[in-house]
Amino acid sequence: MWKLLISFLYLAAFAAAQTSTKKPSPWQTLKGDAPLVIANGGFSGLFPHSSSIAYAFALQTGLPNTILWCDVQLTSDGYGVCLPDLLLNNGSDTGDQFPNKKKTYLINGNRTTGWFSVDFTLSELSKVSLIQGVYSRTFQFDQNLFPVMTIQEVVKQVKPPGLWLNIQHAAFFDQHKLNIRSFVLSTSRSSIVNYISSPEVNFLKSIVARLKATPTKLVFRFLGKKDIEPSTNQTYDSLLKNLTFIKTFASGILVPKTYIWPVDPKLNLQPSTSVVIDAHKEGLKIYASDFANDVPLAYDFSYDPVDEYLKFIDNDNFSVDGVLSDFPITPSAAIDCYSHMDKNDSSPAKPLIITHEGASGDYPGCTDLAYKKAITDGADILDCPVQMTKDGLPFCLGSINLIDRTNAVQAYSTLTMDIPELNGAGIFSFNLTWKEIQDLKPQIFNPYAEEKLYRNQNNKNKGNLMLLSDFLGLAYNATSISGVVISIEEASFLAKQGLSVTDAVLDALSTNDYDNQTIKRVMIQSTNSAVLTKIKEKKNFEFVYEVDEVIRDALNSTMLDIKKFADAVVIKKKSVFSRNNIGFLIGTTDVVPKLKAFKLPVYVKLFQNEFFPQAWDFFSDARVELNSFVVGADIDGVITEFPRTANNYRRNRCLGLGTNTPPYMTPVEPGSLLTVVLPQPPAQAPSPVLSDSNVLEPPLPSVAVAPTTANTTTPALPPTNPRNGQSKLVLSVLVANLPLLLAAILSL
């Protein structure tokens, strides 16, 4: 007897010890489980909501336990179908098929006109096809005639690992003598229903007792804070203050994401509320809704939807228990690949991250703040697109036209010139002195302003422009930065203005001791081979040739020509994956394999986080796009305005897994989505092949003698900030401004 008792106590102690040494869960969900991904109507960010292909694609690209969401609507003969809205015209062609069945009903106190499921039999709805209900998304799948599906058809055909039924308008169905309660209870007996949600208290209370002994979980859905819940006649904001009451009939709550992380009207993220912690204290799971990759996010997320998800699932205080998303591939990757990454982990060498005007997606390009953020964000190479001032000083700016990146049009409108060689009218840097340019306000560049997609307006005029010498000093002192790339364009034109940009760059590099060190890489980039040839004759830097046109291949002889003056090549994204005029990838070109065959590293531009310029194949997710180029096309480096996104991508734990790579980290197959489009679009003319005549340029012209006047004075030479912290004079301007200097001396 005692031996048995001692054995029992020993086993209990052993079990307790095992439990105590078990690694705690990193998730701050209610039960410590990883958050769920709930696919809103399947992959509705791309395909018609609730269509068979949307449901199947969500499971194909998401986590193994992805839950499929079905918004249940009842037909007049009592069948439950999955459709995104009570109004059938929001997601189907019902209005086209039945133009005379338009009705007006009172819904939650509002007169609503359209086509409603309660006015159609299931047989009638069999003539209806599902279409994309969000106008900003592609409508190219609308002609596939995807049918309306019953819940039983979804279960039978798609076989989801989990099913979530949302009953949005139970009271409306009751008014039309359709018993939604009986339908839901019957469905839960014939099919496994994991979750049932509703924004109506009375409906959930009416079924809670019948479902207590089943695995089905009831979730109360919160709508807008000022909206009225019809059963209690209270606002949802009021009900949020009484979670104890909610717990009497539900095991969880579903809230709009702004309940958790509010966003002000200017798209600034506000401090988080206590709603997640409050729900967990009450024993309620909490799910967040309204996630979509193709809507403007709070500026804090820099158009990176993965960062937004991580804010909800991986912060120091809480984690929601699940997210409802139109793009389930993104939260799947966020949960499995990007969450709980060790901030001290070193970044892999590939891809090389090269900035485009610094972190210009978050600050005005080429400002000190844009460069400092790029350093913090994990960039490898800082870039400086060099422009020249009137007084011969090289500085960093993304355009020779000051209108594009500063407020020059307000300050110097009288200096506007029309120069066809420089793409038309503008206020050009070579017409202003450095002092005048310093007085300008930098402006954040908004490439998609016409689409109402703006970059962080809080930072729109922040930062200071930098001389090339100051840029070089900043880069040298940044230990995490492995090198710089200096881009030189319009050298021939500037030479005619009496300005030698190549000499100015070489002098700045020499003044800052870049030509006598091996710590930092120095890359000289240009679309003009003559620029690279001229500098290569004088210095042994790395030379990068930029192909400024979209190509599909290159001649072998052209490759040999490029190798004479360049060590690497920059190409456009469309030169890697060809794309048609309706936004789909067509296929992969031969450009990257050809360059690699000639041992030329391939850097690709331009990577931006905004969803608008992306091909539909990338699901409005900048990291899906990066993965497809880096892993799928095997490029060596990315040129990006958002280095933080690129650095976080290359650090994720789902890379390098070979055959074990999860589907949400598998590169897209160019052309695969296009095969689903009906009818097939007409073929497009192929891009050209890069030939010798495209890359060989005449030598740069001699620098012209600049015109002088009797009042010409020597420009003040600004101090630099070299790596030793001591000020130096920029002697490089003496060469470029020698005619001006002589004229000034002679006038004394």
Which of these, 531, 578, 572, 567, lies nearest to 548 by C-alpha position? 572
pLDDT band at 706 (very low <50, low <70, confident <90, very high): low
Contacts of 548 (CB under 8 A, 6+ apart): 527, 572
Whether 275 and 362 map to the same domain: the answer is: no
Per-residue model confidence as pLDDT tens digits over 495-530:
999 999 999 999 999 999 998 889 999 999 999 999
Do 53 and 342 form a contact (C-beta atoms < 8 A)? no
| Residue 342 pLDDT | 80
| Residue 91 domain-assigned (yes or no) | yes
Whether 318 and 387 map to the same domain: the answer is: no
Q: What percentage of the chain has pLDDT greater than the value 90? A: 88
Q: Which of 338, 370, 392 is the last residue of a domain?
A: 338
Integer Cα distance of 686 and 579 in angstroms: 10
| Residue 348 pLDDT | 79
CATH number reported for the structural domain that contains residue 273 in this entry = 3.20.20.190
Whether 485 and 575 map to the same domain: the answer is: yes
| Residue 346 domain-assigned (yes or no) | no
SS3 (DSSP) at 155: helix
Whether 290 and 367 map to the same domain: the answer is: no
| Residue 210 pLDDT | 96
| Residue 516 pLDDT | 84
| Residue 704 domain-assigned (yes or no) | no
Whether 245 and 282 map to the same domain: the answer is: yes
Integer Cα distance of 628 and 631 in angstroms: 6
Backbone φ/ψ region at 686: left (φ over 0), alpha (ψ -120 to 50), beta: beta
Integer Cα distance of 509 and 230 in angstroms: 71
Which structural domain range is residue 672 located in? 352-400+445-695
Whether 332 and 356 map to the same domain: the answer is: no
Phi, psi of 59 (to 5 degrees): -75, -35
Q: What's the helix, strand, coil split of the chain in %, to 5?
A: 35, 20, 45
pLDDT at 454 over 80: yes
Whether 182 and 302 map to the same domain: the answer is: yes
Integer Cα distance of 136 and 141 in angstroms: 14
Report the 10 Å Cβ neighbour count for 99.
9
SS3 (DSSP) at 393: coil
| Residue 15 domain-assigned (yes or no) | no
Integer Cα distance of 86 and 107 in angstroms: 10
Contacts of 40 (CB under 8 A, 6+ apart): 49, 69, 289, 324, 325, 326, 328
The radius of gyration of the chain from alpha carbons, rounded to an integer in Å, stands at 31
Whether 141 and 267 map to the same domain: the answer is: yes
Whether 466 and 334 map to the same domain: the answer is: no
Whether 142 and 274 map to the same domain: the answer is: yes
* Region 121-146 average pLDDT: 97
Whether 53 and 193 map to the same domain: the answer is: yes
| Residue 108 pLDDT | 85
The two structure tokens encoding residue 218: 């009831």
Q: How far is CA 455 from CA 25, 254, 292, 446, in A?
A: 37, 30, 18, 6
pLDDT at 417 over 70: yes
| Residue 423 domain-assigned (yes or no) | no
Amino acid at 616: W
| Residue 727 domain-assigned (yes or no) | no
Sign of CA dihedral 333, 611, 320, 55: negative
pLDDT at 125 over 90: yes
pLDDT at 12 over 50: no
| Residue 723 pLDDT | 39
The two structure tokens encoding residue 461: 């005029």
| Residue 122 domain-assigned (yes or no) | yes
SS3 (DSSP) at 196: strand
- Burial readout 415-444 (b: 16 or more C-beta within 10 A, e: otherwise): eeeeeeebeeebbbbbbbbbebbeebbbbb
Per-residue model confidence as pLDDT tens digits over 659-689:
999 999 999 999 999 999 999 999 989 999 9
* Region 639-665 average pLDDT: 97
SS3 (DSSP) at 311: helix
| Residue 349 pLDDT | 78
Integer Cα distance of 662 and 437 in angstroms: 51
Whether 253 and 371 map to the same domain: the answer is: no
**Mean pLDDT rounded to a whole number for the chain:** 91
| Residue 160 domain-assigned (yes or no) | yes
Per-residue model confidence as pLDDT tens digits over 255-305:
999 999 999 999 999 999 999 999 999 999 999 999 999 999 999 999 999
Name the pTM for this structure.
Answer: 0.91
Per the structure, the count of domains in the chain is: 2
